Each structure stands twice: as structure tokens, then as C-alpha cells.
Amino acid sequence: MATATLAAGCFWCVEAAVRLIPGVTATEVGFMGGHVANPTYRQVGSGATGHAAVVRIEYDPDALTYAELLSSFWKFHDPTQRNRQGPDVGTAFRSVIFVHDEAQNHAARESKMALERSGRYGVPIVTQIVPAGDFWRAEEHHQRYLEKRGLALGAEG
């Protein structure tokens, strides 16, 4: 199994979208990229910790490549929005690819450059690509949040 960590706004929706991708075997929502150990959802949402709300993804690289995962990532959020997605505003909701090794770093940068060259958005892609750091798991009630409430996304996304 391989691990990827992505941030694209509210982690509830990101997790629900990611879980629909064939080859994804497990997900956890939490926080990465900040300066406070074991932050709470409330602390992160305040913007005071520097963390992004993330989804840590376990996937089978024989069934899903990292490049394919990134292709889906670009489709389920707007990578031109700085520090926001939809109604969620603040640095906790920024678009980030947290890379776990040099191969992921290279693939992420190539993927972002290809999207920029495509002209799909006509404005700069603001998604950050940074080394993964400590992952802090969010409180249990945030895990698979939409699914627990019968609001999971359908196959159409």
C-alpha cells in the first residue's frame, strides 16, 4: 500500500470524494502543516495553528497510480481559490499536496504544471506542494462524517 495526503477545503467532502476512487483502500481525516501538536478541529478552523484540513489516503499502487489520484484531486476542488473552497474560508481550507517522497514531489509538480499548461482555469493554480509532516488525526466524529449522516456522495461525485 502507498500513502498520499491531500488538502482541498473541508475534509468531509474531500474524504467522501476520495473514497469513491477505485484503488483507495482507506482514508483518515486530520491536520497537517501546522505548528501545534495534536490540534483540535476548532483550533485548526480558527487559523491559529497553521494546519490544513487533510485527508490521508491509503491506496493500492497496482490499482491506482499517484498520477491518477492527483488527476482526481484536481477535479474535486477549485485549485485557483486561495485559502478557501466554497463556503469554507481560511488557511485551514487551502489547497495542498503534501508529498511523502521525491517521487511524489516530482509527480505533483508535473501534474500541477500540466494543469497550468492546459489553460483549464485561465488563472494561476495556487495549490501548494510541500513535504508531508506530522499527521494529527481529527476527532472520531469527523471520520467518514458525511457517510455517518447518510450524506455520502454518489458515484456521480
Whether this model's pTM surpasses 0.85: yes
> With contact defined as beta carbons under 8 Å apart, do 101 and 5 qualify?
no
Residues 114-139, mean pLDDT to the nearest whole number: 95
Q: How confident is the model at residue 145 (pLDDT cuts 50, 70, 90)?
A: low
Q: Which residues lie below 8 Å from residue 83, measured CB to CB, with a gap of 6+?
A: 89, 90, 91, 93, 94
Give the whole-angstrom CA distance, residue 61 versus residue 22: 11
Give the whole-angstrom CA distance, residue 150 versus residue 145: 9
Q: For residue 122, report the phi and psi dihedrals to the nearest 5 degrees.
A: 75, 0
The percentage of residues in the chain with a pLDDT greater than 70, rounded to a whole number, is 94
Q: How confident is the model at residue 79 (pLDDT cuts 50, 70, 90)?
A: very high
Partners of 130 in the β-ladder: 98
Q: How confident is the model at residue 153 (pLDDT cuts 50, 70, 90)?
A: low
In this predicted structure, the answer to whether residue 155 has a pLDDT above a threshold of 90 is no
In this predicted structure, the answer to whether residue 126 has a pLDDT above a threshold of 70 is yes
Q: Which residues lie below 8 Å from residue 90, measured CB to CB, with a gap of 6+?
A: 45, 46, 47, 83, 84
| Catalytic residue selected from 10, 14, 17, 55 | 10
CATH topology of domain 2-148: Peptide Methionine Sulfoxide Reductase; Chain A (3.30.1060)
Q: Annotated catalytic, 13?
A: no
Instruction: Tell me the domain boundaries of the chain.
Output: 2-148
In this predicted structure, the answer to whether residue 55 has a pLDDT above a threshold of 90 is yes
Q: Each residue of 60-76: pLDDT tens digit?
A: 999 999 999 999 999 99
Partners of 98 in the β-ladder: 5, 130
